[in-house]
Structure 1
């Protein structure tokens, strides 16, 4: 309930209000930019941010796994925010509790942990984009996408601003959709938003009140 199903060729792509995509035909969940470990990174800099922020995000992923029972879970980059800290241990412990799911990482610009940290019995790490059927998974949005393919990616942390009467303004995270590309919202809640500029061929699906809602743009 609250999701939105897009059709791209023969592929059904379910946009979830939890800021994740589920593709039933591939038994796959896709999540972009969770930035686990960022709370500890900020605490190290003297900014008090609770680790409960990340625990809450892990519980959301657990509920998604329990609901959809995916064979594969793909993180589209920025899984872990920079330096190694206690958050990585929590993340690996979480993954160990779900041996029925294969965990994949398409590395992003913040995924800079030493290679030996990624345990081969837990993580399948992809340093470049990954072709998966009709899809190409990447961290950063691709610019040259084959006509018969669709690029699913993250990195941008897309959001849009909606305006109401009386100069009211509401900025929300969104799925940003172009003819053969979907930019996922950042899964992590402590990430900020980049306000997207929408062209005539673009669409946005905002996440509001546990629903994914298409937004119509007027030129």
Structure 2
């Protein structure tokens, strides 16, 4: 069973890889990769292994090879703050996919000098952009234009499920409010912010095998 959201004439397919596939736009949407974060921790003396980011790249490659998108949009926090050598690793990796156009809506952690972005694989946007029925931003928009749905990230949404024996599990999730879809953090080296959905919201939990509607 495919988990999806139908907004007007646009179908948004929620992927277990923590991304959204929109067939009508031939585009994939991803939020909060935070590539290079492990290197910053190692500079501070915390031994975080770099392969954690290689798993993220393998995940992205799998999505591109499965869906063959024309465009991939990163909804902010692509790279974690100051420059380190992983920026080159990321751009070399993306260079393998000459058939794909990569786009970046800048987030609060995307603070590299503009020259790095100019020489990168990305078309960069400093403010939210409109794409068909979608409004793309990093942080959730407070005011969403009429007849649009805001795709965003920043929050790293998660949900805590509690069983009858009081056992619990925390899952990344897609968090759908009226006219707004907050994507899970794509990067593995990120935390979760537990959400408190309202009755009008929908939550889709993510496991290794599938996306599960939890509240609707």
Q: Normalising by the residue count of structure 1, what TM-score does the alignment of the two structures yield?
A: 0.96
- Cα-Cα RMSD: 1.1
1:108 aligns with 2:107: yes
Look up the SS of the partner of 1:12 in the other structure.
strand
Equivalent pair of 2:75/2:138 in contact (CA under 8 Å): yes
Q: Is contact 2:177-2:202 (8 Å) kept?
A: yes
Q: Secondary structure at the match of 2:190?
A: coil
Structure 1, unaligned runs of 5 or more: none
| Match of residue 97 from structure 1 | 96
1:133 aligns with 132
Q: In structure 2, what is the Cα distance between the partners aligned to 1:119 and 1:22?
A: 27
Alignment of structure 1 residues 117-156 onto 2, 5 Å: 117-120=116-119, 122-156=121-155
Tell me the secondary structure at the aligned position of residue 58 of structure 2. Answer: helix
SS, match of residue 165 in structure 1:
coil
- Which aligned pairs between 1:79-94 and structure 2 lie closer than 5 A? 79-94=78-93
Residue correspondences, number: 216
Asked if residue 206 in structure 1 is aligned to residue 205 in structure 2, the reply is yes
Residues 31 and 186 of structure 2 are in contact (CA less than 8 Å); yes or no, is this contact kept in structure 1? yes
SS at structure 1 position matched to 2:173:
strand
- Aligned residue number for residue 182 of structure 1: 181
More displaced, 114-123 or 126-135? 114-123
| Cα offsets for 1:114-135 (capped at 9, x unmatched) | 0000135621000000100110
- Counterpart of 2:55? 56
Shift of 1:4: 1.2
- Where do 1:154-165 residues align within 5 Å? 154-165=153-164
CA contact (8 A) 1:3 1:17 kept: no
Rounded Cα–Cα distance in structure 1 between residues aligned with 2:125 and 2:183: 18
Q: TM-score, normalised by structure 2?
A: 0.97
Q: Distance in 2 between matches of 1:170 and 1:191?
A: 17
The residue matched to 2:62 in structure 1 has which SS? helix
Residues 22-59 of structure 1 show CA distances to partners (whole Å, capped at 9, x for unaligned) of 00100000000000000101000111111101111001
Task: Please list every run of 5 or more consecutive structure 2 residues that lacks an aligned counterpart in the other structure.
Answer: none
| Residue 147 of structure 1: how far off its partner (Å) | 2.7
